[in-house]
Amino acid sequence: MSQRERLVVVGHGMVGHRLVQAAIERGLTERYDVVVLGEEPRAAYDRVALTSYFSATCAEELSLLPGGSYDHDAVELRLSTEVVAIDRDARTVTTRDKVCGTETTVAYDQLVLATGAAPFVPPVPGREHEGVFVYRTIEDLDAIREASHTATSGIVIGGGLLGLEAANALVQLGLQTHVVEMAPRLMPVQLDQAGGSTLVRHIEKLGVSVHTGVMTEAITADEAGRVNGLALKDAAPVEAQVVVFSAGIRPRDLLARECGLEVADRGGVLVDDQCHSSDERIWAIGECAAPAGRMYGLVAPGYDMAEVVVDALLDGPGRFTGADMSTKLKLLGVDVASFGDAFATTEGSLELVYSDAVAGVYKKLVVTEDGSRLLGGILVGDAAAYGLLRPMVSSGIPLPENPEELILPASRGGSTGSGVAALPDEAQICSCNNVSKGDIVHAVEHDGCEDVASVKKCTNAGTTCGSCVTSVKAIIEDHFAKTGREVNRALCEHFAVSRSELFEIVAIHGYRTFADVLEAHGTGRGCDICKPTVASILASQFNEHVLEGRHRGLQDTNDAFLANIQKNGTYSVVPRIPGGEVTPEGLIVIGEVARDFGLYTKITGGQRIDMFGARLEDLPLIWGRLVDAGFESGHAYGKSLRTVKSCVGSEWCRYGVQESVSMAIRLELRYRGLRSPHKLKGGVSGCARECAEARGKDFGVIATDKGWNLYVGGNGGATPAHAQLLAGDLDDETLVRYLDRFLMYYVRTADRLQRTAPWIDSLDGGLDRVKAVVVDDVLGLGSELEREMDRHVASYFDEWKATLEDPEKLSRFVSFVNAPGVPDPNISFTTERDQIRPVNHDEPVVLGSTIPVGGPR
Q: Which residues of the shown chain bind other proteins in the complex (CB under 8 A)?
A: 493-494, 524-528, 530-532, 552-557, 560-561, 565, 567-569, 812, 815-819, 822, 824-827, 841
What are the helix and strand counts (H, E) for the chain?
Answer: 24, 38
The nearer residue to other proteins, 467 or 555, going by C-beta atoms, is: 555
Q: How far is the CB of 443 from other proteins (least distance, A)?
A: 27
The nearer residue to other proteins, 120 or 816, going by C-beta atoms, is: 816
The nearer residue to other proteins, 213 or 821, going by C-beta atoms, is: 821
The residue type at 787: R
The nearer residue to other proteins, 216 or 555, going by C-beta atoms, is: 555
d(CA 802, CA 800): 5
Residue 279: count of CB within 10 angstroms of its CB? 17
d(CA 255, CA 288): 10
d(CA 53, CA 142): 9
The nearer residue to other proteins, 322 or 820, going by C-beta atoms, is: 820
Q: How far is the CB of 825 from other proteins (least distance, A)?
A: 7
For strands 235-239 and 227-232, give the pairing.
Answer: antiparallel
CB of 75 closer than 8 Å to CB of 34: yes
The nearer residue to other proteins, 194 or 492, going by C-beta atoms, is: 492
Q: How far is the CB of 473 from other proteins (least distance, A)?
A: 31
Contacts of 602 (CB under 8 A, 6+ apart): 609, 610, 612
Is residue 174 helix, strand or coil?
A: coil
Q: How far is the CB of 751 from other proteins (least distance, A)?
A: 17
d(CA 172, CA 497): 44
Contacts of 477 (CB under 8 A, 6+ apart): 487
Q: How far is the CB of 553 from other proteins (least distance, A)?
A: 4
d(CA 87, CA 104): 13
Q: How far is the CB of 820 from other proteins (least distance, A)?
A: 10
The H or E element spanning position 584 is helix 584-596
Q: Give the residues across from 218 on adjacent strands.
A: 231
CB of 216 closer than 8 Å to CB of 237: no
Q: How far is the CB of 551 from other proteins (least distance, A)?
A: 11
The nearer residue to other proteins, 176 or 568, going by C-beta atoms, is: 568
CB of 140 closer than 8 Å to CB of 37: no
d(CA 298, CA 38): 20
For strands 724-730 and 829-832, give the pairing.
Answer: unpaired
d(CA 220, CA 69): 44
Question: Angle, nearest 10°, between helix axes 437-446 and 452-459?
Answer: 110
Q: How far is the CB of 308 from other proteins (least distance, A)?
A: 49
CB of 457 closer than 8 Å to CB of 443: no
Contacts of 65 (CB under 8 A, 6+ apart): 17, 43, 44, 77
The nearer residue to other proteins, 345 or 811, going by C-beta atoms, is: 811
The nearer residue to other proteins, 395 or 570, going by C-beta atoms, is: 570
CB of 106 closer than 8 Å to CB of 78: no
d(CA 524, CA 512): 19
The nearer residue to other proteins, 531 or 666, going by C-beta atoms, is: 531
The nearer residue to other proteins, 755 or 809, going by C-beta atoms, is: 809
Question: Angle, nearest 10°, between helix axes 732-749 and 766-774?
Answer: 120
d(CA 97, CA 71): 23
The nearer residue to other proteins, 564 or 607, going by C-beta atoms, is: 564
The nearer residue to other proteins, 205 or 550, going by C-beta atoms, is: 550
Sheet holding 699-704, edge to edge: 641-646, 680-685, 699-704, 707-712, 724-730
d(CA 120, CA 134): 9
Please provide residue 820's backbone torsions phi and psi, each rounded to the nearest 5 degrees.
Answer: -60, -25
Q: How far is the CB of 824 from other proteins (least distance, A)?
A: 5
Q: How far is the CB of 798 from other proteins (least distance, A)?
A: 23
The nearer residue to other proteins, 6 or 812, going by C-beta atoms, is: 812
Q: How far is the CB of 529 from other proteins (least distance, A)?
A: 8
Q: How far is the CB of 522 from other proteins (least distance, A)?
A: 11
Q: How far is the CB of 538 from other proteins (least distance, A)?
A: 15
Q: How far is the CB of 826 from other proteins (least distance, A)?
A: 4
Q: How far is the CB of 520 from other proteins (least distance, A)?
A: 17
d(CA 111, CA 432): 26
The nearer residue to other proteins, 174 or 553, going by C-beta atoms, is: 553
Q: How far is the CB of 754 from other proteins (least distance, A)?
A: 18
Q: How far is the CB of 554 from other proteins (least distance, A)?
A: 7
For strands 81-87 and 92-97, give the pairing.
Answer: antiparallel
Residue 817: count of CB within 10 angstroms of its CB? 8
Nearest to 679 by CA among 604, 600, 594, 623: 604
Per DSSP, the residues of 106-146 read: EE-SEEEE---EEE-----TTTTSBTEEE-SSHHHHHHHHH
The nearer residue to other proteins, 465 or 814, going by C-beta atoms, is: 814
The H or E element spanning position 446 is helix 437-446
Nearest to 697 by CA among 668, 734, 731, 655: 668
The nearer residue to other proteins, 308 or 827, going by C-beta atoms, is: 827
The nearer residue to other proteins, 545 or 552, going by C-beta atoms, is: 552
d(CA 464, CA 455): 14
Q: How far is the CB of 614 from other proteins (least distance, A)?
A: 14
The residue type at 17: H
d(CA 414, CA 85): 58
Q: Give the residues across from 789 on adjacent strands.
A: none
d(CA 613, CA 832): 13
